[in-house]
Structure 1
Amino acid sequence: MASMREGFNVDIVARVIRKTALNEHLTLPVAAAATFLSCDASGRYLAKIADLVSRFGLNSSFVSEAVTRRAGRIALGLGTVGFLISFNNWLNKWTSNNWTPTKRGEWDWTREIVVVTGGSSGVGASVVQKLLTRNPSTTIVIVDFAPLSWTPPAGSKVHYYQADLSNSDVVRDVCAKIKSEVGHPTVLVNNAGIARGFTVMEGSYADVELTIKTNLLAPFLLVKEFLPDMVEHNHGHIVSVCSMSSVVAPPALVDYSATKNGILSLHEGLQVELLHRHKAPKVRLTNGIFNFIKTPLFKGSTGLPNFTAPLLHVETVSESIVESLYSGYGGTIILPGIMRYISMLRGGPEWMLRLLRNTSNYPIDFRGRQRITETGGLAPNSS
């Protein structure tokens, strides 16, 4: 859920309701107590409660069998809803992780090797920094075209490889260097991405090709490079940074949205392959579906109410990713949480989703900050 960094929003309200009215650990005992009191033929317990209320100078008229029975039904209804939510979350967790628990000590973050693409700035940099805060001895490999915008702590085991991920040959070469110079990664965070900000008609061949190669082809190739060792040891975690644009594609981000749809398919299909084809149920997969994030990828405001669609802070997103990694389990992260109900509209009334797609008035500048060379690659001084 979105945090207080994003200001007061619907996720905070939902969190409060979940911990109170929809908390089955609170409401079901209340329902049981109310049922017991309303079924007491002698009414002696209700009489004692009414007397206690009167002693505090309060009106005890509400302490009656009818009111108690009604309160019990309400508490039972709320508790049932809360239980179903918890049961659904439980099923989501274990089906996403092939019903295979993570044993204590199975993840040793002093020995894990983490690759983070796009770790020079933004979400990627924040993920790296949070991992180092948790365990300064973690080996981390940053793969990015841009130079580091921050300085790793002295003594940290941070490796940086400059690479244009839109070039398949470069991806192959940098992966070979990582495996030979650092070791076989056990964690891959596919975070790097670009957005050119042109409509389908206006974008050049280079704009479309760079977006698809960087955002979709590179994650596929990185998974191909690092997955075999994870499968061999039945140990690993792959994080895919997806986007709500895979559900609702804004104008001038259609190619970007298409790549995020592809990432979603990669995540879902790989889950099945790992379990049934490769017999590696403990290679965890996490997919992060995030709304707009305050990164250099775009400028401006969404123009949407902050209460229902808050603009996410980098720290909020990176925290959710690191929490998933440290939990030892995979799953789906949706931020802000309200967006899961937007996602459900993919199977709902088409007209409702079409209304949501009418985002042409968003006052956002999606223009990519990367420069393209005459040959269609990224310019050396892109950032």
Structure 2
Amino acid sequence: MSGPKLREVSVKLPQKRERPDEPWHHYLTVDLIWYVLGYTLFHPFVSCVLVLCLRAQYTPWHAPEMRVAIAWAMLMTAVGIFGVFSDRVAYGRPREVDLSEEVIVITGGVEGLGGLLAETYGMRNANVAVLDTKKVDYDEAEEKGVLYYECDVSNAKQVEAVAAEIVEDLGPPTILINNAGIVHTKSILDSTAEEVELTFRTNTLSHFTTLRTFLPYMLRERRGTIVTVSSVLGHLGAANLSSYAASKAALLALHHSLRAELAQIPDADEIKTILVTPGQMSTKMFGNVKTPSNFLAPVISPAEVAKDILKLIEKGESGEVAVPLYARYAQVLGVLPVGVQKIVRSLSGVDTAIAKAGLAKKEASEKQ
């Protein structure tokens, strides 16, 4: 069966002057090295090919290099097989996904990561509904192939009203991407009660609202995918980002609770869940924040995160998206000795980044 027909859109390519000139080593990161190793030395197929290459050179089976190559190939194969079985045990069988039969709801989908996801699906003629407080004119929405609904996701009544419109316009939602978020770059003492409440209403409580609103449709359809966009700061916390980090940390518990509840519902076997915990992205939210090490903690583009999200959604799988590499292992920091934790935090600059960027006492909030 052929996939959905691609929508033709006009694209303005960036001019050379719009892209900063960076030295070659700027693009050399631990993530790139890990990616290359994953498709070479650490890949089961490549490891087995190495054994065949040695044998083609008439290397004796008892030779040390042959024994090492065979042992390495067996180890990599075992690790690969274990990973497949581990994912199957944790997430079950993937569901079939046909974009022409899916209705995709994206919160905070006008700009940033959500905007990129919405436009990508719009170009592929998928049924996309975006919930955002920002307005998009009709011509722009028509060009992108996306339906935009002006909605404050922190307001339960607005979400419920928009949900009825989406069902009438597109059909019952089957893919929910909870992406909306705001940040107040203030210390705990400088934060007002209203700012903290708004952060939690938008970043956390909105997820409860959208789940209560859209999950029943997925249960009736007996299929669906729910994407929870959290942050690596949910594992770490950070100075001058207390309300943001706390609201994102709550999403980690919400995701695991959601998975536990879905496992107890017979009709939820085909409802998949995806947890997204990215590091710093090159969006407006943290645009002026500098990474302490571009090699170990590179700033990633929304496209890198969106690529992994799209892959899991369209393969019909549950899973986790954590990029760059350090985001996968950030939670390990909590099991290290407290002295080591302090040293790592100091070297990472996580607690001084906002102050150094001059954002610590910024009054206005910026939306994703």
TM-score (norm 1): 0.79
Question: Which residue in the other structure is 1:271 paired with?
Answer: 259
The partner residue of 1:147 within 123, 135, 146 is 135
CA distance in 1, matches of 2:168, 2:162: 10
CA distance in 1, matches of 2:345, 2:213: 36
Question: Are residues 86 and 344 of structure 1, via their aligned partners in 2, closer, same or farther at CA, if it must alter by over 3 Å?
Answer: farther
1:361 corresponds to 2:349: no
Q: Is the 8 A contact 2:185 2:365 kept in 1?
A: no
Question: Which residue in the other structure is 1:294 paired with?
Answer: 282
CA distance in 2, matches of 1:18, 1:75: 17
Question: Which residue in the other structure is 1:56 paired with?
Answer: none
- SS of the equivalent of 1:285 reads strand
- SS of the equivalent of 1:338 reads helix
State the one-letter code of the partner of 2:35. R
Q: Is the 8 A contact 1:248 1:357 kept in 2?
A: no
Within 5 Å, which residues of 2 pair with 1:252-267? 252-267=240-255
Cα deviation code 1:290-347 (max 9, x no counterpart)? 0011111123233321111110112112222112211111100110123322323333
CA distance in 2, matches of 1:296, 1:218: 21
CA distance in 2, matches of 1:92, 1:140: 32
Question: Are residues 350 and 279 of structure 1, via their aligned partners in 2, closer, same or farther at CA, if it must alter by over 3 Å?
Answer: farther
The partner residue of 2:225 within 227, 237, 249 is 237
Task: Give 1:243 shift.
Answer: 0.7
Task: Give 1:77 shift.
Answer: 4.2
Question: Which residue in the other structure is 2:237 paired with?
Answer: 249
CA distance in 2, matches of 1:328, 1:269: 20
Within 5 Å, which residues of 2 pair with 1:31-180? 31=51, 49=58, 69-98=63-92, 100-102=93-95, 106-133=96-123, 135-136=124-125, 138-148=126-136, 151-154=140-143, 156=145, 158-180=146-168
Task: Give 1:119 shift.
Answer: 0.7
CA distance in 1, matches of 2:183, 2:320: 23
Q: Is the 8 A contact 1:250 1:357 kept in 2?
A: no
Question: Which residue in the other structure is 1:15 paired with?
Answer: 35
Question: Which residue in the other structure is 1:182 paired with?
Answer: 170
1:349 corresponds to 2:337: yes
State the one-letter code of the partner of 2:321. I
Question: Which residue in the other structure is 1:379 paired with?
Answer: none
State the one-letter code of the partner of 1:114. I
Q: Is the 8 A contact 1:119 1:144 kept in 2?
A: yes
- Worse-superposed segment, 203-212 or 263-272: 263-272
- SS of the equivalent of 2:183 reads coil
Larger radius of gyration: 1
Unaligned runs of 5+ in 2: 1-23
- Worse-superposed segment, 316-325 or 113-122: 316-325
CA distance in 1, matches of 2:68, 2:141: 54
Question: Are residues 356 and 248 of structure 1, via their aligned partners in 2, closer, same or farther at CA, if it must alter by over 3 Å?
Answer: farther
CA distance in 1, matches of 2:136, 2:90: 34
Q: Is the 8 A contact 1:194 1:368 kept in 2?
A: no
Task: Give 1:72 shift.
Answer: 2.4
Task: Give 1:368 shift.
Answer: 7.2
CA distance in 2, matches of 1:214, 1:368: 18
State the one-letter code of the partner of 2:171. G
Q: Is the 8 A contact 2:105 2:177 kept in 1?
A: yes
Cα deviation code 1:349-382 (max 9, x no counterpart)? 34333434442321333747548xxxxxxxxxx8
Question: Which residue in the other structure is 2:292 paired with?
Answer: 304
- SS of the equivalent of 1:243 reads coil
- Worse-superposed segment, 143-152 or 328-337: 143-152
CA distance in 1, matches of 2:363, 2:206: 18
Cα deviation code 1:205-228 (max 9, x no counterpart)? 111000000000001110111111
- SS of the equivalent of 1:161 reads strand
CA distance in 1, matches of 2:363, 2:70: 53
- SS of the equivalent of 2:147 reads strand
- Worse-superposed segment, 255-264 or 116-125: 255-264
| Equivalenced residues, count | 336
CA distance in 2, matches of 1:332, 1:356: 24
Task: Give 1:172 shift.
Answer: 2.9
CA distance in 2, matches of 1:353, 1:232: 46
CA distance in 1, matches of 2:80, 2:341: 28
Q: Is the 8 A contact 1:130 1:322 kept in 2?
A: no
Task: Give 1:81 shift.
Answer: 4.1
- Worse-superposed segment, 88-97 or 294-303: 88-97
Q: Quick one: percent identity of the two aligned structures?
A: 24
Unaligned runs of 5+ in 1: 38-44, 50-62, 372-381
State the one-letter code of the partner of 1:174. V
CA distance in 2, matches of 1:216, 1:368: 21
State the one-letter code of the partner of 2:112. G
Question: Which residue in the other structure is 2:13 paired with?
Answer: none
State the one-letter code of the partner of 1:339. A
Task: Give 1:29 shift.
Answer: 5.2
